[in-house]
Amino acid sequence: VRLRGVGVVPVESAKVGVIGGDVAISNALIPELDFTYFFTKNIAAELILGTTKHDVQAVNTAAGNVDLGSVYLLPPTLTAQYHFCAEKEGVFKPYIGAGLNYTLFYNVKSGAVADVKYDNALGYAAQVGFDLMIDDTYFINVDAKRLFLSTDVTVDASNLAPGLTVPAEVEINPWLLGIGFGMKF
């Protein structure tokens, strides 16, 4: 079990219909809890749990920059990992992983527009990290994950121009950069 502080850094881009432009999504700092189960001394599965809030803005559009409010993301992610050191070997234990992510978008606040809808999305995840053993039970963990995540967004801007609905395909693709403490059971 690990508890980490994680910086969430989106590497965003968008194809915005009707008014053109791009998207800007804020960074966030969140707590993250994860559970890792070892099937063998080198093969494990990790489930990460955390939620994050981001401010969103349409930028460089025909209408200028438009505040799209905020949205929370709940991205449970399951990865299969390969640990290069067996359980009892050494203090430095590096690993790599790959897996799936399903992101739920919730608690949307629409900002300057009437409404914003985000489609929940399935994506891929890749990770690299290491555990630094303090003793046989406790360790420090450093981890970097990249989620490959895109969503379809529908912006109801009818309050700005009658009947205006703006579709967008948004690539979020965040980095999750974490450090924390863990405990083996």
Dihedral sign, CA of 55, 56, 60, 63? negative
Pick from 173, 178, 172, 146: nearest CA to 29: 178
pLDDT of residue 75: 94
Measured distance CA(69)–CA(169) in Å, rounded:
17
pLDDT of residue 86: 67
Mean pLDDT per 10-residue run, the chain (185 residues)?
Answer: 97 94 97 96 96 96 94 97 82 96 97 96 97 95 97 95 94 97 94
Q: What is the pLDDT of residues 122-166, one digit of tens each?
A: 999 999 999 999 999 999 999 999 999 999 999 999 998 999 999
